[in-house]
């Protein structure tokens, strides 16, 4: 009996214990980050222009993409719009949220519930009936860590355009009229389950693949989406001519517009196995108050009716390789 003997009595925790503790910490993380209610997030997708706007309020950098993923309107393509920091800060300072912008109290038809955490994709598939895809290429020693599933949700809102009109006045957007038929119209949103696969290495490498089937949004009949999109672009600070030109080029029923902070972000179009995608790189953290956001990269793409976002800190080459291996 000596010090050496006592030291030799140390032992590693059981792997099963380590795993369950890690899951427990993940659940704490989820509980901390969960927002109180479904709210009108998906409903905002009803108008692509509004989705652009709403996303920009909260998530000025790569995170925009994650939020936007949940607000899709049959996305087949992505378009990145650079927005200056000052305008995003102005929008944030107004403390607007999707619910207040739409002006109506959303009726939740189906709750998403709390996100569920799994340690394997097979367990997630068995428990949810989903068939999530997975990357076969995992750069820099990444391995699957956890799988999160956010449940399917449906909601409906009767639109009151006054808050939006007030916002247009505040930002001096007086030359455009809101589309007829929007005010008092009903918007319904259906967001299928979202699966997030999180990968980590033994070191600092991290990645997360977000995927879901294309959400569906039903708009009041006859609403001019291009006009709504143009208003959204103007509110994001684009000059009138640029907003008009861009709004006319975008197919608002199939293109997700991703606003990014111009001073902190670079982006380029990429090809992901024949699908047009966009690569976004954030070089610094987001605006003050935006949360704990560091540098990061993301690839967004859509294929066969599903939309994907792959995010991480593994460099463009690694991220694109990983994205291309998702099947």
| Binding of residue 29 to other proteins (CB under 8 A) | yes
304 binds other proteins (CB under 8 A): no
Task: Indicate whether 200 belongs to the interface with other proteins (CB under 8 A).
Answer: yes
Rounded Cα gap, residues 220 and 43, in angstroms = 12
At closest approach, how far in Å is the CB of 34 from other proteins?
A: 4
Report in angstroms how near the CB of residue 177 gets to other proteins at its nearest: 31
Q: Assess 203 for contact with other proteins (CB under 8 A).
A: yes
x-marked contacts with other proteins along 126-165 as a string, rule CB under 8 A: ----------------------x-x---------------
* Min separation Cβ 200 and other proteins, Å: 6
User: Which of 113, 114, 96 has its CA nearest to residue 32?
Assistant: 114
CA 213 to chain centre: 14
Point out which span in 107-115, 164-172, 182-190, 319-327 binds other proteins (CB under 8 A).
Answer: 107-115
Count of residues interacting with other proteins (CB under 8 A):
58
Q: Is 206 in the site for other proteins (CB under 8 A)?
A: yes
Provide the mask over 40-79, with x wherever binding to other proteins is found by CB under 8 A and - wherever it is not. -x-----------------x--xx--xx-xx---------
One of 9, 131, 288, 304 touching other proteins (CB under 8 A): 9
Is residue 210 part of the contact set for other proteins (CB under 8 A)?
yes
Q: Pick between residue 26 and residue 91 the one whose CB is nearest to other proteins.
A: 26
Which residue ranges make up the site for other proteins (CB under 8 A)? 1-3, 5-7, 9-14, 17-18, 21-22, 24-25, 28-30, 32-35, 41, 59, 62-63, 66-67, 69-70, 112, 114-115, 148, 150, 194, 196, 198, 200, 202-204, 206, 208, 210, 285, 291-296, 311-313
């Amino acid at each position: 009996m000596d010090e050496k003997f006592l030291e030799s009595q140390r032992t590693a925790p059981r792997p099963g214990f380590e795993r369950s503790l890690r899951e427990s910490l993940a659940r704490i993380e989820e509980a901390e980050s969960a927002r109180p209610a479904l709210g009108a997030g998906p409903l905002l997708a009803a108008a692509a222009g509004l989705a652009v706007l709403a996303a920009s309020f909260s998530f000025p950098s790569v995170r925009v993409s994650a939020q936007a993923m949940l607000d899709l309107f049959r996305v087949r393509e992505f378009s990145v719009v650079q927005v200056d920091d000052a305008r995003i800060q102005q929008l944030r300072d107004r403390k607007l949220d999707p619910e207040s912008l739409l002006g109506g109290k959303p009726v939740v038809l189906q709750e998403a519930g709390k996100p569920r955490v799994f340690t394997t994709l097979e367990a997630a598939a068995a428990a949810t009936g989903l068939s999530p895809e997975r990357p076969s290429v995992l750069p820099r020693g990444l391995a699957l860590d956890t799988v999160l599933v956010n449940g399917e949700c449906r909601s409906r809102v009767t639109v009151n355009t006054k808050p939006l009109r007030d916002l247009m006045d505040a930002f001096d957007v007086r030359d455009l009229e809101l589309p007829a038929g929007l005010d008092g119209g009903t918007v319904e949103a259906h967001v299928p389950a979202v699966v997030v696969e999180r990968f980590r290495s033994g070191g600092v490498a991290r990645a997360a693949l977000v995927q879901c089937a294309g959400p569906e949004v039903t708009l009041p009949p006859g609403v001019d989406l291009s006009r709504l999109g143009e208003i959204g672009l103007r509110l994001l600070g684009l000059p009138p001519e640029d907003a008009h030109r861009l709004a006319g080029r975008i197919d608002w029923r199939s293109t997700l517009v991703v606003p990014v902070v111009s001073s902190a972000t670079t982006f380029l179009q990429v090809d992901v196995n024949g699908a047009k995608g966009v690569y976004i790189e954030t070089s610094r953290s987001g605006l003050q108050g935006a949360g704990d956001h560091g540098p990061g990269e993301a690839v967004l793409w859509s294929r066969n009716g599903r939309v994907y976002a792959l995010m991480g800190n593994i460099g463009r080459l690694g991220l694109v390789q990983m994205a291309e291996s998702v099947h």
